[in-house]
Amino acid sequence: MRENVVILDFGGQYNELIARRVREAGVYCEVVPYTTSLEKIKAYAPIGIIFTGGPNSVYLPGSPQADPDLFRLGVPVLGICYGCQLIAHSLGGRVTEAQDDSAREYGKTVTYFDTTCPLFKGIPEKSVTWMSHGDYMERVPEGFKLVSHSDACPNVGIADEARGFYGVQFHPEVNHTEFGKQMLRNFLFEICRAKGDWRMSDYKNEAISAVREKVGGGKVLLALSGGVDSSVAAALLAEAVGDQLTCVFVDHGFMRLNEGDEVEQAFSKWNLNFVRVDAEERFLSKLKGVEEPERKRKIIGEEFIRVFEAEAKKIGKVDFLAQGTIYPDVIESGAGNAAVIKSHHNVGGLPDYVDFKEIIEPLRMLFKDEVRQLGRELGLPEYLVSRQPFPGPGLAIRVIGELTKEKLDTLRRADFIFRDEVAKADCEASQYFAVLTNTRSVGVMGDGRTYDYTLALRCVTTSDFMTAEWTRLPYDLLDRVSTRIVNEVAGVNRIVYDITSKPPATIEWE
């Protein structure tokens, strides 16, 4: 049986980033709500438990609490931020609101460590961590010692080494904490004694077996966009059930320039039942007059399902709908107590009634980098595996405001120029695209006055798509892109560059 770490979700926005760090270390983990029963947690046979951060105060009525019997399982526990305070609160300590503003810590903070503590083994005695807490551990529980402090706060880290309980007020999972990854590795390998047996090759075989068992002799219908997620899902399902799979490419009219034809061509030699549906007019008519981003996503999600239902009826009885949903989709659509950032058409946008027996999501527990690894394990070509992320609603959420075919065609041409120039410049960037804003401004072209749209360029660098930095593209590249778009694309007379990171922004504008 593969070793497992259980991550209890208390509602913080970085919770699944903890999971990604754990898996990067070669240890499998799953994120479950804090309300998960003790029996279900025991069924995971965890080698360790991690309590995540969260927005609440542990001492207030109604705040999320952990089952006290978790501390009697004989399993190491690491608490992060709220999770640290929860350990203290649950085991007899005292947590209060910080009365002194200096005890509230937010952002990068110089922190000091007792490096004899197993959690901080092999790291410097002083480094920078990322803090985000307004509460204070006034008294730590009996049996705990202080193992970390800052200039403002004496109890940044606590440890009861005899029982394997550790807590930190900062966030080791974020890149801003300089040695955070090492701390998490120490928890896994020094404290939990993990072997590190999480391998993508094993996941591939397990996922194929699970799909075969679930599907049996049934038929499967998959939405194939040609993006990384749906392509990997298609390859996995094809290997699992072969000709029981039909892949439907819904051309909703929101694809990038020439992309519909490229998707069809890319899969023309595959042993797949490939169906292309031209649904541009259908989608545009449904979205006429709609400006609000969430409504766009919901409408597109429902129309996707309705198109699949129609195709299913044409090809006969279909038992399962398959989707390329991945972990970040689930996270941003609101997992556990976390806030909904935006709904994804293949998660939050599903209608209440779906005319299939069940939905299959073989990639639901994987992060983007893990999906790419799985694609390579399945033998997908690198040009598909390395393709930039592209949202399910496509360009519909990159045109701000109401959609029209003219706006979409304008964005398609401008977006192609931007992506073409960035690719030729060989810049290190993870995702880059154009957004057609709903703002028009006065300009001059030749001897005439124009009143056209403002186009925004977005380019980010990231390793996990949970957080992202805006990319410092060279000025001459931006100048070249701006000149080309204004001269080659009618309807655009102003170009702006988005220099906002994630957070506070999301990567997409809508």
What pLDDT is recorded for position 333?
54
Please check whether residue 243 is in contact with residue 218, taking contact to mean a CB–CB distance below 8 angstroms: no
| 175 shares a domain with 158 | yes
Do 294 and 311 reside in the same domain of the chain? Answer: yes
**Cα–Cα distances in Å, from 297 out to 349, 392, 397, 455?**
6, 9, 8, 21
The active-site residue, picked from 3, 16, 105, 173, is 173
At residue 288, the pLDDT reads 95
What is the reported pLDDT for 353? 46
187 and 220: one domain? no
Residue 371 belongs to domain with CATH number? 3.40.50.620
Cβ neighbours of 79 (radius 10 Å): 27
| 336, 33 Cβ separation under 8 angstroms | yes
User: Would you state the pLDDT for residue 355?
Assistant: 61
User: What does pTM read for this prediction?
Assistant: 0.71
Q: Is position 133 annotated as part of the catalytic site?
A: no
135-139/126-133 β-pairing: unpaired
Look up the domain containing 206 and give its range.
200-385
**48 in any annotated domain:** yes
**Claim to verify: residue 93 and residue 19 sit in the same structural domain:** yes
Identified catalytic residue from 29, 81, 84, 192: 81
Query: Which pair of tokens denotes residue 415?
Result: 């977006």
Strand segments, DSSP code E, in 10-115 are 28-33, 48-51, 77-80, 94-97, 105-113
Strand partners, 494: 454
Q: Could you say which residues of the chain have pLDDT below 70?
A: 99-106, 133-134, 330-355, 447, 464
* Residue 251 to residue 256: CA distance in whole angstroms: 11
Per annotation, catalytic residue among 89, 133, 171, 345: 171
How many domains does the chain contain in total?
3
- 167, 79 in Cβ contact below 8 A? yes
Report how far apart, in Å, the C-alpha atoms of 366 and of each of 23, 116, 165, 328, 460 are.
10, 35, 28, 8, 21
| 124 shares its domain with 57 | yes
In this structure, what CATH number is given to the domain that contains residue 484? 3.30.300.10
Residues 255, 349: one domain? Answer: yes
Q: Is 81 annotated as catalytic?
A: yes
Note whether 235 and 278 are same-domain residues: yes
pLDDT of residue 266: 77
How high is the pLDDT of residue 339? 43
Asked if residue 392 is part of any domain, the answer here is: no
Q: Please check whether residues 219 and 180 belong to one and the same domain.
A: no
In 316-465, beta strands by DSSP E? 320-322, 358-360, 431-445, 448-461
CB 194 within 8 A of CB 47: yes
Tally helices (H) and strands (E) across the chain: 14, 20
* Residue that terminates a domain, selected from 351, 385, 419: 385
173 annotated active-site: yes
Shared domain for 178 and 298, answered yes or no, is no
Asked whether residue 25 is domain-assigned, the answer is: yes
In a domain, 226, yes or no: yes
Q: CB–CB of 50/6 below 8 Å?
A: yes
Q: Is residue 365 located within the same domain as residue 439?
A: no
Domain check: are 380 and 403 in the same one? no
Q: Is 184 found in the same domain as 118?
A: yes
Look-up: residue for tokens 């279900």? 40
pLDDT at site 337? 47
